[in-house]
Homo-oligomer: A and B are copies of this chain.
Amino acid sequence: MVDSHGVNERYLEDIRTGDRFRTADYAVTEGEIIEYARHYDPQAFHTNPVEARNSVFGGLVASGWYTAAITMRLIALSEVRIAGGLIGLGVEELRWPLPVRAGDTLHVEVEALEVRPSHSHPDRGIVRVRNTTLNQKGEVVQTMVTTLFVPRRDGQTD
């Protein structure tokens, strides 16, 4: 997960605990906040700028699931590619400490927390990753820890 490897695909052997990278930026617009929420999180504080003023947020805010979707996009399009793709086994501790608002620009900082072989699948390993999503002020708007299945370079296939 170090930048010097360029766009080559990474296997388990290429990833070390503590490896980090930063994604590109993503500009959040009012139109996209509303469009996403109309489909997937239809609540007035996500879809109606006027009604949102009277909500606990005091204005329009992005659905947390939209922030998670942007985070996934930024990681999937980053220069760090995992061989076989990003196969997520699950997510721990998904948190939204601050709301995302129209005009924010987000990026993600990714850190490998743990790298180990899989007991049940000798051709693969498990990488626990912390993904932190920040806005243009450096404020954390989302944190999560996720667990990925990553193939071993010398692993047999099943």
Chain A contacts to B: CB under 8 angstroms: 39-45, 55-56, 63-65, 68-70, 72-73, 76-77, 84-96, 149
State the copy count for this chain.
Answer: 2
Residue of B nearest to A44 (CB): B85
Q: Are A96 and B85 in contact (CB under 8 A)?
A: no
Q: Which 7 A-B pairs have the closest CB atoms?
A: A40-B69, A91-B94, A90-B95, A43-B85, A40-B73, A41-B72, A65-B72
Q: How far is the CA of A44 from the CA of B101 in the complex (A)?
A: 31
Nearest-neighbour CB distance to chain B for A53, whole angstroms, equals: 14
Knowing A65-B69, A65-B72, A72-B40, the reply to whether A90 touches B93 (Cβ < 8 A) is yes
Q: Could you tell me if A42 and B96 are in contact, using CB atoms closer than 8 angstroms?
A: no
